[in-house]
Amino acid sequence: MADTGDTAACDVVTVPARQGLEAVDLLRLRHGVGPVLHDREGETLGFLVPPGTAARWNLPGSACTRAGTDAPVGGRPSVAGSCWLVPPEGAVARATEPERLRAAIYEAVNTLAVVDRCGGVVRR
């Protein structure tokens, strides 16, 4: 997606960084991912999703908030203490499709649970 400097309404789904990084990888491999924010402390990722997602988002371990009309679509993120993990110019869409994100987060949580049960190593 080209960085046009435009802003558009969006919502932001926030997840713990570990699950979020796995979800980003899954989305990149399968469908592509929209812009993703990363907090500087490394604790959370924020996926930009279409406006209206917050009203119907219900996935334990995550939160979806309305970001309004000043969404960080181009340039520097407007969320204090954050930077781009996937910048708008490197994203395939203006926002990540919510159902694809939900599926990727769900798969990431399950995959990481298996890794944790195996002591951090998946044996084949």
Tell me the per-residue pLDDT of 16-38, one tens digit each, with 9 for 90 and over. Answer: 999 999 999 999 999 899 999 99
Instruction: Say how far apart CA 14 and CA 91 lie, in whole Å.
Output: 17
pLDDT higher at 58 or 78 = 58
- Mean pLDDT, residues 71-86: 64
pLDDT at 7: 44
Residue 20 DSSP label: H
- Locate the domains of the chain by residue range: 11-68+76-117
Please, which residues have CB within 8 angstroms of residue 57's CB and are 6 or more apart in sequence? 11, 13, 63, 64, 98
What is the pTM assigned to this prediction?
A: 0.81
Q: Give the confidence band of 118 by pLDDT, cuts at 50, 70, 90.
A: confident
Judge whether 35 and 48 are in contact, CB under 8 Å: yes
First to last CA, the chain: 38
Give bridge partners of residue 39 from the DSSP assignment. Answer: 82
Please say if the pLDDT value at position 62 is more than 70.
Answer: yes
Please, which residues have CB within 8 angstroms of residue 36's CB and are 6 or more apart in sequence? 20, 24, 45, 46, 47, 48, 84, 85, 86, 91, 96
Please say if the pLDDT value at position 64 is more than 70.
Answer: yes
pLDDT at 49: 96
